[in-house]
Amino acid sequence: MLGYYFDLALRSLRRNKVLTALMVLAIALGIGASMTTLTVLHVLSGDPLPGRSSTLYYAQVDPRDMNGYLPGKSQPMYQVSWIDGMNLLRAKRADRQALMTGGLVVVQRHNTMLDPFYEAARYTTGDFFPMFGVPLEYGHAWSASDDEAHARVAVISATLNGKLFGGTDSTGQTLRLSGAEFRIVGVLGNWHPNPQFYDLLRKSYDENEGVYVPLSSSQDVGMHHDGSVDCWGKGGTGINPDHASRCAWLQFWVQLDKPAEAAAYKTFLIHYSEQQKALGRFQRPPNVQLRDVMQWLDYNQVVPDDVRLQTWLAFGFLLVCLVNTVGLMLAKFMRRAGELGVRRALGASKRSLFAQLLVESGVVGLAGGIGGLLLALLGLWLVRRQPAEYAPLAHLDPAMLLATFLLALGASLLAGLLPAWRACQIAPALQLKSN
Amino acid sequence: MDILPILSTLRRHKLTAWLLALEIALTCAIVCNAVFLIGQRLQRMDVPSGIAEHELVQIQLGYIGDTPDAKAQTQNDVAALQQMPGVKQVGLDRYLPFSLDGSSNTGIKLDPQQQQNTLDAGQYLGQNLLPTLGVRLVAGRNFEPGEYVDFDTAVAALNNGDMKGLPQTMIITQAIAERLWPGQEALGKTLYTESGIPFRVIGVIAVLARQNNLQQGAQYSTYWPIRMTSADGASYFIRCAPQHRESVLKAAVAKLKQLNPNRVVLKARTYDHARRAFFANDRAMAGMLVGVIVALLIVTALGIVGLASFWVAQRRRMIGVRRALGATRGDILHYFQTENFLLATIGIALGMVLAYGINLFLMMHYELPRLPAIYFPVGAIALWSIGQLAVLGPALRAAAVPPVVATRSV
């Protein structure tokens, strides 16, 4: 029966090509626009470390004076100072912990014609790699004892390894980083957490740092800090923040495998703040935060307002397109009142008429879905040409592809529902009489 | 034109008529808000910077290895750049207005005991800024050479709490002066930074936009007499005639590399380029909104064409009868035009309410101001005209139906 209805639908749609084209176009435009924005939203609000993100927490404390303090409203400082970071790191109260910050290093390799160049770097303690599950293609990460020993070791990204060593195993080789010799101990595998949750101030969605070195060694060499620095009270800084200064410029991440540990860790942060207040370093009442990865992303509103706005706009557009299609379909079905009346008089039930009309709207939806998919691909291509940081990531994945078709089919069936129901209400006798 | 017969016809197509009105309402509501959003973006992109935008180029250098004497090196660089043909002024600063690279900000207070800052302002450091940027002083004077403090000295002084190493004077924008001392002379007054350090105001500049955080007061900027070197992360800014920018940029980069080859060029661009990059997202968003408006109006217009064509085809007999009974072509034409006008009016009335609702929603979630009343008539006129344009084709076809149709049976 369905095959017959399908055939009927095609005949009916062919009979009025302009109207059919209008309906298909309207659905395609609506679907195309909403799928484009939904894909961008989907890409931006994803979990950067699936399966791991709920055990990773970003810790914040508030070392500032009372200036500007609003009880209950003031958030703790965005980053931690060197002193607090080191204290928390040495306390070792979490399963794993990493203190890190961003930087820029000059990369030089011996015996090559390559000009020295600047490369984004991460200065971090060794737990960074096991904590975030960073895959290594060659070699290994550095250990806690390397951190302690201020070892001149480095891990480089696959991209940098390709640029310097043609992608071969470069462990054991040395590089000059900001004027000092470092031995490469590891090369990253394919690792592109998106967004780059561990340092959101980098504002980069697709490019990882090229160089990773122990935080302690980076400070010995005087490597350039690159990132936000917030000073409080009479604190100030140049490019490389002084360790004793009242400035926060490091990120502190902890891994806590069980939820109970998270509660305990938060208590520890409060105790730490009280202790620092007793010592006279902190002045505010304890003001701490411990957010897991997704909470941290949410707090930082990593999905830009513009993208949310565009999604609302696209769905508004889809709604207009649907109302448009409902109107056109209603007109089309009502025009065929005579034909439908004959079918009813010949014994077709309301249900089978309803099914026939829904098949017709489904065909329109399917065609609209295919058109919408093409338009979404075009839309995503346009998005990729936009200046936004997230633009290069806007690609359709299989899940969104399926969602496109379900949305198109669902939307057009929904649009067909009302006209089909209305057309089934026609009294057959009246239609037969009129002609 | 008699409206009653039209209304009674529409009552027989209640569902279709309401759907059309609903479509017009939704389109009207979205178009009103989208036009408003475009206006907001254009307004944001139009903020004056107060500097000679088309006459500036920027060069930022990074050092390889040690920087033994950054101060002497910077002085050499500036002296050499100033000698170059076409160069009018050379200055140093970390950031300029509308910067994507970062910003430096400070809290300002009227009283050091205040717990909350009076305002938050952008901070400009560096030397020879005013002549290089072309910023206009409206009162007071520029800094004298003796007032400048070296950047590293100032940072050290701040960390030691030694006030003598810090500058004592500051230049502020008119916007700050009016906010702090409304209706009074700002020159000679003292203001305090967030941490209570006093500064005497010695000059007021007309306009200078801050680097970013524009929503906290786009024109709240301060200028401090702190000398920077290129090793502190400052860029060289060169002022020259607009048509010489590209050649000056190229020659200056070559010159700087020749003076000390042990450094890398991190940035070399015109200021126009930097400003365009800062507002690129706003421009893209405004463009997208224009696209959505056009697409919406086209879809709505096509929907009207489709429905009107359908109605014309359905009423061929009725039209023929009316023509046979003496109605002119004009009467038929007007009939369909009036019908569309009525539906559009209902839709627009609904759309206004909806537009207001959407605006309230946006205000709650996106820090937008209230939709000004001027946007309502704009949306109404847009939809009335679209409706009339769309219905014209089918209405003309209806008017062309000959009276003889009435006598034919199907």
Of B66, B284, B296, nearest to A320 by CB-CB distance is B296
CB-based contact B22:B348 (threshold 8 Å): no
CB-based contact B254:B87 (threshold 8 Å): no
Shared domain for B8 and B114, answered yes or no, is no
Give the model confidence (pLDDT) of B359-384 as tens digits.
999 898 887 888 888 888 888 898 99
Return the pLDDT at A435.
47
pLDDT(B116) > 70: yes
CB-based contact A91:A276 (threshold 8 Å): no
Q: In A236-346, at which residue ranges do the beta strands (DSSP E only) sit?
A: 247-255, 289-292
pLDDT(A331) > 70: yes
Could you tell me whether strands A117-124 and A211-214 are parallel, antiparallel, or unpaired per DSSP bridges? parallel
CB-based contact A415:A361 (threshold 8 Å): yes
Per-residue pLDDT, averaged over B330-337, amounts to 91
> Does residue A418 belong to the interface with chain B, where contact is any CB pair within 8 Å?
yes
User: Are the beta carbons of A179 and B66 separated by less than 8 Å?
Assistant: yes
Shared domain for B199 and B120, answered yes or no, is yes
User: Hey, which residues 127-156 in chain B have their CB within 8 Å of chain A?
Assistant: 151-152, 154-155
Shared domain for B208 and B323, answered yes or no, is no
Helix (H, G, I), strand (E, B) or coil at B268: strand
Q: Is residue B243 part of a domain?
A: no
Give the model confidence (pLDDT) of A16-63 as tens digits.
888 888 888 888 999 898 888 888 888 888 888 988 999 999 999 999
Shared domain for B42 and B100, answered yes or no, is no
User: Are the beta carbons of A233 and B266 separated by less than 8 Å?
Assistant: no
Neighboring chain A residues of B27 at a CB cutoff of 8 Å: 320
Give the model confidence (pLDDT) of A379-418 as tens digits.
999 888 887 777 777 888 888 888 877 887 888 788 888 8
User: Are the beta carbons of A236 and B155 separated by less than 8 Å?
Assistant: yes
A22 to chain B: closest CA residue: B302
Return phi, psi of residue A204, to 5°: -120, 130
Q: How many domains does chain B have?
A: 2
Return the pLDDT at A188.
94
Pairwise CA distance, residues B227 & B126, whole Å: 5
Nearest to B15 by CA among A237, A390, A333: A333
DSSP string, B303-334: HHHHHHHHHHHHTHHHHHHHHHTT--HHHHHH
> Does residue A143 belong to the interface with chain B, where contact is any CB pair within 8 Å?
no
Domain containing B332: what range?
4-46+281-407
Neighboring chain A residues of B314 at a CB cutoff of 8 Å: 335
> Does residue B290 belong to the interface with chain A, where contact is any CB pair within 8 Å?
no
User: Hey, which residues 248-267 in chain A have their CB within 8 Å of chain B?
Assistant: none
Q: How many beta carbons lie within 10 A of that of residue B162, not counting itself?
A: 12
Shared domain for B293 and B397, answered yes or no, is yes
Pairwise CA distance, residues A368 & A318, whole Å: 12
Ramachandran region of residue A139, left (φ > 0), alpha (ψ -120 to 50) or beta? Answer: left
Shared domain for B215 and B129, answered yes or no, is yes
Pairwise CA distance, residues A137 & A190, whole Å: 8
User: Are the beta carbons of B23 and A324 separated by less than 8 Å?
Assistant: yes
* ipTM of the predicted assembly exceeds 0.90: no
- Cβ partners under 8 Å of residue A232, min gap 6: A63, A64, A65, A67, A77, A246, A247, A248, B195
- Ordered alpha helix ranges (H), B46-170: 70-83, 129-133, 151-160
Domain finish residue from B203, B227, B251 = B227
pLDDT(A431) > 80: no
Shared domain for B101 and B222, answered yes or no, is yes
Instruction: Work out the pLDDT band at A196, boundaries 50, 70, 90.
Output: confident
Q: Dihedral angle at the C-alpha atoms of B238, B243, B247, B250, nearest 10 degrees?
A: 50
What element of type H or E holds A178? none
Question: How crowded is the C-beta side of A119, counted as CA atoms within 13 Å?
Answer: 28
Helix (H, G, I), strand (E, B) or coil at B87: strand
Return the pLDDT at B66.
65
Domain finish residue from B194, B227, B260 = B227
- Map tokens 């942060």 to a residue: A269
Q: Is residue B334 part of a domain?
A: yes
> Does residue B113 belong to the interface with chain A, where contact is any CB pair within 8 Å?
no
Give the model confidence (pLDDT) of B253-288 as tens digits.
999 999 988 888 889 999 999 999 899 888 988 988
Give the model confidence (pLDDT) of A123-182 as tens digits.
999 999 999 999 999 999 999 999 999 999 999 999 999 999 999 999 999 999 988 999
Task: State chain B's mean pLDDT as an integer.
Answer: 90
What secondary structure letter does DSSP report for A50?
A: T
Find the range with the poorest average confidence among A345-354, B78-87, B141-150, B250-259.
A345-354
Shared domain for B170 and B285, answered yes or no, is no
Neighboring chain A residues of B310 at a CB cutoff of 8 Å: 19, 328, 331-332, 335
Q: Is residue B135 part of a domain?
A: yes
> Does residue A422 belong to the interface with chain B, where contact is any CB pair within 8 Å?
yes
- Min Cα distance A382 → chain B (Å) is 10
Pairwise CA distance, residues A198 & A56, whole Å: 10
Q: Is residue B31 part of a domain?
A: yes
Domain finish residue from B197, B227, B257 = B227
Shared domain for B220 and B124, answered yes or no, is yes
Global pTM reads 0.83
Q: Is residue B246 part of a domain?
A: no
- Burial (CB < 10 A; 0-12, 13-18, 19+), residue A81, is buried
Helix (H, G, I), strand (E, B) or coil at B205: strand
Give the model confidence (pLDDT) of A59-91 as tens digits.
999 999 888 888 888 899 999 999 999 999 999
Pairwise CA distance, residues A177 & A224, whole Å: 11
Shared domain for B219 and B312, answered yes or no, is no
Whether residue A428 is preceded by a cis peptide bond, meaning omega within 30 degrees of 0, is no
Q: Is residue B133 part of a domain?
A: yes
Query: What burial letters (b/e) apply to A102-123, b meaning 16+ CB within 10 Å?
Result: bbbbbbbbeeeeeebebbbbbb
Of A22, A316, A422, nearest to B302 by CB-CB distance is A22
Q: Is residue B10 part of a domain?
A: yes
Shared domain for B222 and B328, answered yes or no, is no
Shared domain for B116 and B174, answered yes or no, is yes
User: Are the beta carbons of A29 and B292 separated by less than 8 Å?
Assistant: no
∠ Cα A203 A45 A119 (to 5°): 25
Nearest to A253 by CA among A75, A126, A103, A155: A126
Per-residue pLDDT, averaged over A426-434, amounts to 69
Q: Is residue B90 part of a domain?
A: no
